[in-house]
């Protein structure tokens, strides 16, 4: 029998009944760190422990749970099927415990070294977070922000489980366990290159419809607000290019005769940085909200309160 076969048989023959009262809960911290980092050495760095200490802890947990849990591969320490089943409830339990322990403490923002995970689409990443991170670097230099791409399909679960602290989006989450705060309202503007042969200072509806447009792609069941407004009048744009991110738009507008339509603050930002011409959209468009969202379990968290209140205040000044 090979060493690997022996190792697997050892875990298979282990007593799988685990008594939580006798389980060292520090082992769950080790499990969570290895699962997140896919590396024993990186997990050791995250936990401020030595690598042998983390290896020994993993060995103890393997023995208690009767499973290898992680197996070495070219991609790092890959979780077994059992580890994949355990990962979410362990992360949720640790997050709940951390929040409970933090709940009544004051937050010393000048010295705190906490990390906040913020899920945003590229609007928030371009318009809101650059200025806020500049302010934060002066006010609380040891705080860290991890910016995550906002994924609508997983956002609710990530907020609930603590993988994401806050999210910025145009659509509020309807369930009562989520908090939704409108932090700003937006409208739309269009961009063209200077010297566009068909456009002057004022963009008429006729000119708007005659141009070739760059548009943002999205879910098949979602339509941009401008297209909904046009369709009510029996009109539609000439869509030439569909892109996955707003940042593609000014780059294409800059070197072609195509135009694009996007949120006003983002259009102003791109007009300044890419030397493009701003145009009012030649159609009545209602303003739309931008929401900051979080899970109710973080409502009383002192650090989260401080961070989100300052982020809300910053958004309202834009």
Domain CATH for 20: 1.10.10.10
Distances in Å between the Cα of 199 and the Cα atoms of 35, 117, 248, 267, 278 are: 55, 43, 21, 17, 11
Tell me, what's the pLDDT at 14? 44
Q: Compute the distance between CA of residue 62 and CA of residue 69 in angstroms, rounded to an integer.
A: 6
Contact 301, 212 (CB under 8 A): no
If asked whether residues 55 and 134 sit together in one domain, one would say no
Res. 111 pLDDT band, cuts 50 70 90: confident
Q: Compute the distance between CA of residue 272 and CA of residue 260 in angstroms, rounded to an integer.
A: 15
User: Which of 70, 102, 134 is the endpoint of a domain?
Assistant: 102
Q: Please indicate, yes or no, if residue 301 is contained in any of the structural domains.
A: yes
Tell me, what's the pLDDT at 7? 47
If asked whether residues 177 and 300 sit together in one domain, one would say yes
Tell me, what's the pLDDT at 20? 64
| Whether the predicted pLDDT of 6 surpasses 60 | no
If asked whether residues 240 and 279 sit together in one domain, one would say yes
User: Which of 49, 73, 102 is the endpoint of a domain?
Assistant: 102
User: Which of 102, 130, 162 is the endpoint of a domain?
Assistant: 102
- The CATH number given to whatever domain includes residue 256 is 3.40.190.10
Q: Please indicate, yes or no, if residue 300 is contained in any of the structural domains.
A: yes
| Whether the predicted pLDDT of 139 surpasses 70 | yes
Q: Give the number of domains in the chain.
A: 3
What number is the average pLDDT over the span 269-297?
Answer: 95
Q: Please indicate, yes or no, if residue 107 is contained in any of the structural domains.
A: no
Res. 8 pLDDT band, cuts 50 70 90: very low
- Is pTM beyond 0.85? Reply is no
If asked whether residues 193 and 170 sit together in one domain, one would say no
If asked whether residues 161 and 206 sit together in one domain, one would say no
Q: Please indicate, yes or no, if residue 109 is contained in any of the structural domains.
A: no
The parent domain of residue 261 ranges over 188-286
If asked whether residues 34 and 158 sit together in one domain, one would say no
Res. 108 pLDDT band, cuts 50 70 90: confident
Record the tokens describing residue 199, joined without a space.
């456009």
Tens of pLDDT along 149-173?
876 678 898 898 888 999 999 999 9
């Amino acid at each position: 029998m090979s060493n690997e076969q022996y190792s697997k048989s050892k875990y298979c023959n282990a007593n799988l009944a685990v008594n939580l009262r006798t389980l060292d809960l520090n082992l769950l911290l080790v499990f969570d760190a290895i699962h997140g980092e896919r590396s024993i050495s990186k997990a050791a760095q995250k936990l401020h422990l030595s690598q042998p200490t983390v290896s020994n802890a993993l060995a103890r947990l393997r023995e208690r749970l009767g499973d290898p849990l992680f197996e070495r591969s070219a991609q790092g320490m890959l979780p077994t099927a059992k580890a994949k089943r355990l990962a979410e409830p362990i992360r949720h339990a640790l997050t709940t415990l951390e929040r409970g322990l933090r709940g009544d403490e004051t937050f010393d923002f000048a010295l705190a070294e906490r990390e906040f995970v913020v899920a945003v689409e590229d609007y928030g990443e371009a318009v809101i977070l650059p200025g806020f991170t500049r302010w934060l670097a002066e006010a609380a230099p040891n705080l860290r922000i991890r910016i995550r791409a906002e994924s609508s399909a997983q956002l609710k679960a990530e907020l609930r489980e603590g993988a994401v602290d806050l999210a910025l989006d145009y659509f509020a989450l309807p369930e009562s366990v989520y908090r939704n705060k409108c932090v700003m309202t937006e409208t739309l503007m269009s961009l063209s290159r200077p010297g566009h042969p068909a456009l002057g200072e004022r963009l008429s509806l006729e000119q708007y419809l005659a141009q070739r447009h760059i548009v943002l792609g999205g879910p098949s069941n979602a339509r941009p607000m401008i297209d909904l407004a046009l369709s009510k009048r029996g009109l539609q744009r000439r869509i030439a290019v569909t892109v996955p991110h707003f940042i593609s738009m000014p780059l294409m507008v800059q070197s072609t005769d195509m135009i694009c339509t996007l949120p006003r603050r983002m259009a102003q930002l791109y007009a300044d940085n890419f030397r493009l011409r701003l145009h009012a959209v030649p159609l009545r468009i209602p303003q739309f909200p931008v929401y900051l969202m979080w899970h109710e379990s973080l409502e009383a968290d002192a650090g989260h309160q401080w961070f989100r209140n300052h982020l809300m205040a910053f958004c309202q000044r834009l």
